[in-house]
Amino acid sequence: MSEAEHSFGITLEQVSDFEFRIRFDETGIPDLITDETSPLGHDAGPNPSRMLAAAIANCQAASLLFALRKYKNAPEKMRATARLAMERNEQGRLRISHVGVDLQLSEKGEAMAHLDRVLAQFEDFCIVTQSVRQGIKVDVTVHDGEGNALHASGKGPAGA
């Protein structure tokens, strides 16, 4: 498969203050509102840190479900909780220092076929967690209202 088959885009538009509407391009998925917590924002939706915790927990739960089904298990309801910790770096800026995920199955472990194999491999299926663990290259460009490049971080030229 080509790289284009594994890429997607989103569009983020400011509603007011720190509240943004996220559009998931060309999918038909309903828009999502995000916002910063008080006192900076107005708590109109999850902030980016909460979205990251949700993405990791959701990906882990889906990966565990996939691995269980791969071995013909039919688990019932599953629950995932995530706890995100933040610390200040040397410059005094908050950074995510740890995300802990707890996955809770409804069934007893001994009721699951090949549970040892499932538990040994399910995390490898989680795109989000494995990407975050390795680090993700992020390029950022800033353009003004006339399309002029004002800033570019990362390796490539502005707008590349």
Beta carbons within 10 angstroms of residue 160's beta carbon: 10
Q: What pLDDT, in 10s, does the model give residues 112-140?
A: 999 999 999 999 999 999 999 998 787 88
**Where along the chain do its domains lie?**
1-45, 47-160
- Backbone angles phi and psi of 140, in degrees to 5: -130, 130
Residues 30-48: tens digit of each pLDDT: 999 999 999 999 999 999 9
Cα-Cα end-to-end distance for the chain: 23
Query: CATH second-level architecture of 47-160?
Result: 2-Layer Sandwich (3.30)
